[in-house]
Amino acid sequence: MLLNNKVVLVSGVGPGMGQALARIAAAEGASVILAARNQSFLEEVRADIVAKGGKAIAIACDVADEDQCQALAKGAAEWGGRIDGLINSAYYHGDWSVIENSDAADMAKAFDVNCLGALRLSRACIPYLRDGGAVVNVSTMATVRPFGGDHGMEMGYAVAKGALNTLSKYMAVDLGRYGIRVNTCRMGWIHGAPVEGHIQAQVEAGQAREDVLAGITRDIPIGKIPPEDDCARAVLMMVSDYSRVVSGASLDVNGGHWMAP
């Protein structure tokens, strides 16, 4: 199995990619620490993993809180004995807006969670990641291809994730001396519960489902919305031994969408 005997901490375990990352990591042999603010949802995911024979523990954490990040890292290491992989997938999306109407406070919150949250948790995990650990920062293709238009743009989220991309490279340079690898995965459309909800909302508004899908996939070279589980597997590969000489890289996990004209 891809992650056999590894201890993997996943932040941002919510209804989307976070739970897929946790579930598949466990299926691939990892002992998984599930982290997010919503303890009840974490317990649901943990129970599902354990029911299928996996190993998991749930620890509530807000990555905007330094003390909670420290407690999470310590609790994860005490439970697992070490941390082999950290996946920073916690995020705050923020408002869609145009520059003229942008909210600096909302953008600051996006930066605090999406960039500084990853920094806080990574910093807390350094003692337990030494000598072979790996960090993956989950980012977005919106950092290289702006999303939106006159109705609003995915600006605060993307700007914060752009900062995370840069932070990842500095982390890779600095933490390499401790034997810690750091990489970034830039996600695009992910076909899971959140995107399916978006599709259903458009259908309920009167659009044909096939037209909604065609509009989304028009610029995705592989011709479909990348399935959630496949996206999760790509991210998890970056904490596996298959990528143990890869650090400071950015992996595009979006079906080639970022290249489309």
pLDDT, one tens digit per residue, over 31-83 is: 999 999 999 999 999 999 999 999 999 999 999 999 999 999 999 999 999 99
- Based on its alpha-carbon atoms, the radius of gyration of the chain, rounded to whole angstroms, reads 18
Q: 36: part of which helix (H) or strand (E)?
A: strand 31-36
How many other C-beta atoms can be found within 10 angstroms of the C-beta atom of residue 246? 15
* Superfamily name and number for 7-190+229-253: NAD(P)-binding Rossmann-like Domain (3.40.50.720)
Contacts of 244 (CB under 8 A, 6+ apart): 132, 134, 181
As annotated, the residues of the chain forming the CATH 3.40.50.720 domain(s) are 7-190+229-253
- In this prediction the pTM is 0.93
3-class secondary-structure state, position 148: strand
- What is the distance between the alpha carbons of residues 234 and 86, in angstroms, rounded to a whole number? 14
How many other C-beta atoms can be found within 10 angstroms of the C-beta atom of residue 23? 23
84 close to 2: Cβ distance less than 8 angstroms: no
Calculate the CA dihedral of residues 137, 142, 148, 154 and round it to 10 degrees.
30
How many other C-beta atoms can be found within 10 angstroms of the C-beta atom of residue 128? 20
Position 100 pLDDT exceeds 90: no
Position 97 pLDDT exceeds 90: no
3-class secondary-structure state, position 58: strand
16 close to 227: Cβ distance less than 8 angstroms: no
